[in-house]
Amino acid sequence: MKPQHIGVFIEQRNHELLDVGLELLGKARQLADSSGGRVSALLLGKNLTTLAKDLIPYGADTVLKADNPLLEPYRLLPYTALLENICKIYDLDILLLGATRMGMELAPRLAARLNTGLSAHCIDLQLDADGKLLQMVPGWGGGVVATIKCPDHRPQMATVMPGVMKKPEPVSRTGQVLDLPVEEEIHISGPRVLEVHIEEPEGIPMEKAEVVVVGGWGIGGPEGWRLLEELAGLLCGAVGATRPPVDEGWASESQMIGQSGKTIRPRLYIGAGISGMTHHVVGMDESDCIVAINTNPKAAIFAVSDIAVVADYRKILPLLIKEIRARLRDSRIDTCEMP
């Protein structure tokens, strides 16, 4: 197998590394080791000296650092131009990016500029016998996963949603940080950023909650949604959704679980009124325990569930809430601790 040079775009905003970059470094490390190749972390922004060093324990052999005030805050066109140069100069075979809002905007533009293939929201990445990247992408509707390859163009590009790959444990290892030149003119073109407004997140983030109560199309409306919220509140959990409730406005986009939403691995997943489309399942099927409630005994969700309840959630959940209340009264707590 030909040694592969794997690049990982590391997203930072306000000097905070997003976990997805570290998760991808872990995956890139595995792939590089299996091919005798190496991993480069691509870090753009300003005052990055400390952040750059932090990347080596997560698996980077080299940190390619473009450190310049012109690169803060993120702007699409300068970042595209710089990444284009990096891909060409350092001859990357593979480039991985997080499917964050930044990555979703940046990756396709870069792929078009480099005239190479890109696959979105991969759930797994492997190398074939020739060292080419196999990109596993869930296909909609049919419960299938397509394996995509970009055989003839470089770099082979893929995006992965946050939480899909596991963040590696940092280990003591050696690596180097290279400073890249940034030319003034890349700043000229494109929209300018007037301000970046950071909002504090509310409640327990769904990705970190130990219990997630999830509703689908079958919930039927905001009234049923309140039942999910009550149950989640009781279990110190978060409420998640499939796509239709988000489209209907019962839930917000940040609550969406699945291929184009979040990936969760809670200790307990309780799903109500969910058919179990692959799009959703890829975002939850690594939960420790999956409970599904659906009136349709043939619903696909039951095939990925530990506990199946063929019933109307409107009947089950109020009784379950009552039952839990009775048990909690005997034992403990009236407040939830943040995980």
Partner 1 sequence: MELSEVFLKRIIVCIKPIPDPKEWGRLRMDPDTKTLIREEIPSVINPLDKHAIEAALEIKDGCGAEVVLLAMAPLESRPVLREALAMGADRAVLLSDKVFAGSDTLATARILAAGIRKIGSSDLIFCGNLTLDGSTAQVPSQVAELLGIPSIMHVSGMDRMDGKRLLITQKIEQGHAKLVAEPPLLLALVKEANTPRYISFLEILAAEKREIATWSNETLKIDVSLIGMSGSLTKMEDLLLHEKKRRGIRLNGDSEEIARQLAEKLHQIGII
Q: Which of 202, 319, 337, 338 binds partner 1 (CB under 8 A)?
A: 319
Q: Round the CA-based radius of gyration of the chain to a whole number and report it.
A: 22
Which residues, 71 to 130, sit near partner 1 by CB under 8 A? 73, 76-77, 80, 100-102, 104-109, 111-113, 115-121
Minimum Å distance from CB 19 to partner 1?
Answer: 11
| Closer residue to partner 1 in complex, CB, 96/304 | 304
Dihedral Cα 264, 220, 327, 233, nearest 10 deg: 50
Q: How far apart are CA 265 and CA 126, in angstroms?
A: 22
Which residues, 209 to 248, sit near partner 1 by CB under 8 A? 210-211, 217, 235, 243-244, 247
Query: What is the token pair recorded at 312?
Result: 């109307």
Minimum Å distance from CB 110 to partner 1?
Answer: 8
| Closer residue to partner 1 in complex, CB, 56/102 | 102
Q: Which of 195, 202, 334, 337 binds partner 1 (CB under 8 A)?
A: 195
Inter-residue contact 60 to 8 (CB < 8 Å): yes
Asked whether position 185 contacts partner 1 by CB under 8 A, the answer is: no
Residues 6+ apart with CB under 8 A from 294: 218, 271, 272, 273, 274, 275, 301, 302, 309, 310, 313
Per-residue contact track with partner 1, 36 to 75, x per CB under 8 A?
-------------------------------------x--
Q: How far apart are CA 9 and CA 64, in angstroms?
A: 10
Q: Which of 172, 174, 331, 335 binds partner 1 (CB under 8 A)?
A: 331
Q: How far apart are CA 200 and CA 222, in angstroms?
A: 25
Q: Which of 169, 184, 192, 202 binds partner 1 (CB under 8 A)?
A: 192
